[in-house]
Structure 1
């Protein structure tokens, strides 16, 4: 007999919100983070360890199934949702700040150029 795992309704909502806000596929996010993490220097022996935070945590959550989430994963999702929404509310008018703003969102797995 297979036991059905019950997911907390709050976690269900957070899962849905997280996947709505984090709209960059995991491999694309990983490539972006590797680019950001490399800066002017070459990669170390294990490039995944050099990924910037919180992107590395977001990437880890993206690789999980909902039933495998830990309380720490749920916190990462909450934080990502809050940060993305906060940055979206602070959209600059134009100019250099626009690139910085978009890059900050990409670090969190959100691309403003992807239509919802």
Structure 2
């Protein structure tokens, strides 16, 4: 990736606001998650645990080291996380499948910086404006 690509920089920034777990915390979560984590997938054809591993690898990279696959992963993860945040269940704190999916993607919805509704939708729009 080039260093001065504004679209990539925008995606990087939005991705890092959506993924609010540091890499050590995500790594610990992924290691403690049972193989059945794919059952939580928002899309039946997505291996959510494998996607979480890709998120972890991106978190350990510098922006200038991103590949096209990394950028596609950042876009997919942002869309999945924002979609789930915009459609949070009424009792989200106790909805384990919903929260577990988000945790596997690197987002802890119980943190104060976790957006909801229109605030979450704004992140997705920010990513696609450049």
Hey, what does 2:44 align to over in structure 1?
Answer: none
Hey, what does 2:25 align to over in structure 1?
Answer: 28
* TM-score of the aligned structures, taking structure 1 as reference length: 0.79
- Residues 1-116 of structure 1 mapped to structure 2, 5 A cutoff: 6-37=3-34, 52-94=49-91, 98-116=95-113
Deviation at 1:113, TM superposition (A): 1.5
Structure number with larger C-alpha Rg? 1
* TM-score of the aligned structures, taking structure 2 as reference length: 0.71
CA–CA distance in structure 1, aligned partners of residues 55 and 73 of structure 2: 7
Hey, what does 2:40 align to over in structure 1?
Answer: none
Matched residue count: 101
More helix by share: 2
Structure 2 gap ranges (5+): 37-47, 114-130
Deviation at 1:7, TM superposition (A): 2.6
